[in-house]
Structure 1
Amino acid sequence: MAEDGREEITEDEAALYDRQIRLWGVEAQQRMRNASILLVGFRSLNTEVGKNIALAGVGKLTVLDPERVTDRDLGAQFFLRQEDVGKNRAAAAAPRLQTMNPRVEIVVDQEPIGSKADTFFTQFDLRIDNVCRLNNIPLYISAVHGIFGYIFCDIVNHTYIEERKVPQGNNMDPLVEITKLNTTFPSLSSSLARKWQDVTARTLKKRIGKVFFVTLLLWQFQSDHSRNPRPEDAETLAAMWAGMVEEKGIKEPSILDTHMIDIFIRMHDTELSPISAIVGGILAQDILKVLSGKELPIKNWFLYDGRDGSGLLHYISEGEALG
C-alpha cells in the first residue's frame, strides 16, 4: 500500500503499462491505478470512453445505465449482441468491457441517475452532475447527435505540469524544463449564461459555428418540454432560436438556419460509430490527461462537425472574452 492508503502499482502492472509509464511517468500511472470513474449511460459514445480508459488501467469503472438493450443499440455499440436485446444495457456490456482489461474493477449500476443521493457521487473522480463543484470533482458532459458532437469540461480547480525542451547548443541534449501550473474552470451555468453582443457576426460564424448553438437550442427544448424534439417541432424550435438570438445578443441569426435545425432534429438521437469513435477518443484522452496531471485539459468546449470533419476548442464563460 502507498503511504496515503492507496494501492501501489505492482511489478506485473508496471510491465503491462510500460509504454504508458514511459509517456507520463510512474506517479501519473499510480493516480490512474487509484482512480474511480463513473460513466452515466452506456450507448455508443461511452462505449468508446469506457474501452479507452479501461485499457489505460484506471482502478475502478462504474457503468450506470437503467435502460434495456434495443435492436437500435446494436448498430453502434460494439459490446452488445443480438442475444442481449431486452437485457439491461450496462449489465449486458460489462463482461465484454471487462475483457479489455481484467485488472480494472467493473461495477454495474442499473438505477436511474436521478434516484442517487449526492453522497453517492463523492466516491468518484469524474462524474456528471452539478454536485461535482461542491466536492471538487471533475465534470464532463458529452454527446453525439448524428454527425455532430460536443464535450464540455469543468475540472473546477486543476493543477498540472507542462514540459518544455530547452536547447543547449554544442550538440548537447536539450534540458527538460518542467513548470507547475494551476487553472480554474467556469461552471456549466456560467458558460451557458454568456452573452454574445461583444462578438462580431464574422467571429461567431468562423470560430464558434453551428454545433454549439444548436446544442443550446436542444437543451432549451428539452428543459421546456421534457422530451426530445420531433420533426413537427421545427416551427417551435425556429421561434425558440429567435428568442435566444434576442436574449443572448447574437449578431448573426443565420448561423442557425431552418436547414441546420431540420438536420439536427432528424439526427439528434442517431448514433454513428465513426463520430462516437472520434468524440469518445478525444474525451477518453482528456480524462487520462486530467488523471495524469500532464498538460492542460479541454478548456472548456470541444465542438465537432462531421460535415467537414472540423473540431473546435473554445473557452466560453460568462463575462469573459472568447477564448
Structure 2
Amino acid sequence: MGEKLSAVEAELYDRQIRLWGIESQEKLRAADVLLIGVRALGAEIAKNILLSGINSLTILDDRTVTEEEQPRNFLLSKTSVGKKIAEEVLLKAQMLNPLVKISADTDCPPSKDVSYFKKFTIIVATGIKPDLLLKIDKICRSEKIKLIFGDAFGMFGYSVSDFGKHTYYEDQIKLIGKKRKHDGSDKTSVKVKGEINYPELNKVIILPNTKQSADSIKKSKRRNELFYAMLALMEFKNKHGRIPNIETKKDDIESLEEIKKEIFELYQVDDSKSKITKEIFEVIFGEVIPVCAALGGVIAQEVIKAVSNKEVPINNVFLFDPITYDGKEETVGV
C-alpha cells in the first residue's frame, strides 16, 4: 500500500498527480528501486524515475569512470574520471529530486545474494550478461519483485520486462445514456481493470547452446527480426565478455554474423530473406546519447506503470529500430 504524501510532496508532484492520480503517486512514493548500471542509458533512466517521486533509488555499479564515458553521462563531471561511477553520479542525481533517498553500491553485481535483491519493489538492469539477468529474474519471480532490463548499442536499443502477474487500471471514456450530446456531458471516465501474465525470462531469452527449446517463440510467423538482433548482441556479450567495440569493428561484425547464423538456425529463420544484414550491425557501436535518452524514457515510463499499476505496460519486449528510429513492441514467450 502506498505511503501518504506530505504537503511538500503533494506540491512538488502536483502536475503528475493531476495526470495519474493521488493513489498512483502514493504507490510511487513507497517504491524502492534498484538500478544496476549507470552509464549513459542508466543515467537517463535514473533521471526520469527520480523525477517521478519514488521513495528510494539504489545504484549498483562496480565500474570506474573512463575518459571516453564522462562526456556522455550528464550525471558525471570532469573530476569523475578514474573514480567509482556509482558514487560519482550521486551528487547530480540527488539534485534532481532532494526528496528521494539515493545510495551507491560499488560491489560487483554477480556477488550479490538473494537477500540483497529481496528489499526492492522493482529492479532495473542495464549492461549485465544474460546469465546474471536470468539468475536475477528467478529471484524476482520467487519474491514477486518486478524486473525490467534494457541496453543501448549505438543506434539500436531494447528492453525486456518481467512484471509477473501484473494488474493494471486504465481510464476509459464511457457514454452516458442513449442520446448523444455535444457539450461533453454525455461522457464519463471509468477505471477499467486489466491483467497481464508475463513469462519468465528464460522463455523469452533463449540463446544458442543453452539446451532450451525455442518452439514457443518460433510459433510466431510475424516476429520482428530486430528481436534476433537483440539476441545476437546478448550472445556476443556471453561469448566475448564485452560489448562490440569500434576499435575491433571488423572482427566484431564478423562475430555477430556468425552468431546471427546460429540464432537463425535455432529459430528456423530463413537467412536469405532476413532484413538483419550488415547494415544493422554497422550502427551498433558506441553510446548514442539521443538513443539512450529515448530508450531511457521508455524504460522509466514502464517502471512508473509497473509500480503505480496505472495504464497498460508493454508486453513484454520493446525494440528501438536503428533504421527508422521508431519503437516496436513484441510479445514473446507467451
TM beyond 0.5: yes
User: What is the deviation of 1:213?
Assistant: 1.1
> CA 1:197/1:87 → structure 2, altered by over 3 Å: closer, same or farther?
closer
Q: 1:175 aligns with which of 160, 185, 188?
A: 188
Cα distance in 1 for residues equivalent to 2:258 and 2:237: 15
Q: 2:100 aligns with which of 77, 101, 104?
A: 104
> CA 1:137/1:197 → structure 2, altered by over 3 Å: closer, same or farther?
closer
Pair 1:305-2:317 in alignment:
no
Pair 1:189-2:197 in alignment:
no
SS at match of 1:276: helix
Cα distance in 1 for residues equivalent to 2:23 and 2:142: 26
User: What is the deviation of 1:245?
Assistant: 1.6
User: What is the deviation of 1:262?
Assistant: 4.4
> CA 1:22/1:160 → structure 2, altered by over 3 Å: closer, same or farther?
same
Q: 2:143 aligns with which of 135, 141, 147?
A: 135
What is the aligned partner in structure 1 of residue 291 from structure 2? 275
1:273-303 Cα distance to aligned partner (Å, 9 max, x none)? 1011100011111111112111111110110
Pairing 1:291-302 to 2, within 5 Å after superposition: 291-302=307-318
What is the aligned partner in structure 2 of residue 162 from structure 1? 170
User: What is the deviation of 1:225?
Assistant: 4.0
Pair 1:71-2:60 in alignment:
no
> CA 1:111/1:156 → structure 2, altered by over 3 Å: closer, same or farther?
same
Pair 1:145-2:153 in alignment:
yes
User: What is the deviation of 1:252?
Assistant: 4.5
SS at match of 2:75: coil
Q: 1:243 aligns with which of 245, 251, 262?
A: 262
User: What is the deviation of 1:132?
Assistant: 0.8
Cα distance in 2 for residues equivalent to 1:233 and 1:104: 41
RMSD of aligned alpha carbons: 1.9
User: What is the deviation of 1:263?
Assistant: 3.9
User: What is the deviation of 1:197?
Assistant: 4.9
1:219-273 Cα distance to aligned partner (Å, 9 max, x none)? 2233234344543244443333222222211135533223433443xx1xx1111
Pair 1:221-2:236 in alignment:
yes
Q: 1:284 aligns with which of 290, 297, 300?
A: 300
- What amino acid is aligned across from residue 54 of structure 1 in structure 2? L
TM-score in terms of structure 1 length = 0.88
Identify unmatched segments of 5+ residues in structure 2.
126-135, 207-213
- The answer to whether the 8 A contact 1:151-1:301 is kept is yes
- What amino acid is aligned across from residue 135 of structure 1 in structure 2? E
Pair 1:23-2:19 in alignment:
yes
Identify unmatched segments of 5+ residues in structure 1.
none
SS at match of 2:122: coil
User: What is the deviation of 1:192?
Assistant: 2.6
> CA 1:150/1:223 → structure 2, altered by over 3 Å: closer, same or farther?
same
- What amino acid is aligned across from residue 250 of structure 1 in structure 2? V
Cα distance in 2 for residues equivalent to 1:198 and 1:159: 26
1:21-49 Cα distance to aligned partner (Å, 9 max, x none)? 11111111111111000000110111111
SS at match of 1:31: helix
Q: In percent, how many aligned pairs have the same letter?
A: 32
- What amino acid is aligned across from residue 183 of structure 1 in structure 2? I
Q: 2:88 aligns with which of 92, 117, 120?
A: 92
> CA 1:46/1:226 → structure 2, altered by over 3 Å: closer, same or farther?
closer
Q: 2:278 aligns with which of 258, 264, 277?
A: 258
SS at match of 1:240: helix
- What amino acid is aligned across from residue 177 of structure 1 in structure 2? V
Cα distance in 2 for residues equivalent to 1:46 and 1:122: 21
- The answer to whether the 8 A contact 2:168-2:193 is kept is yes
Cα distance in 2 for residues equivalent to 1:83 and 1:50: 21
- The answer to whether the 8 A contact 1:37-1:125 is kept is yes
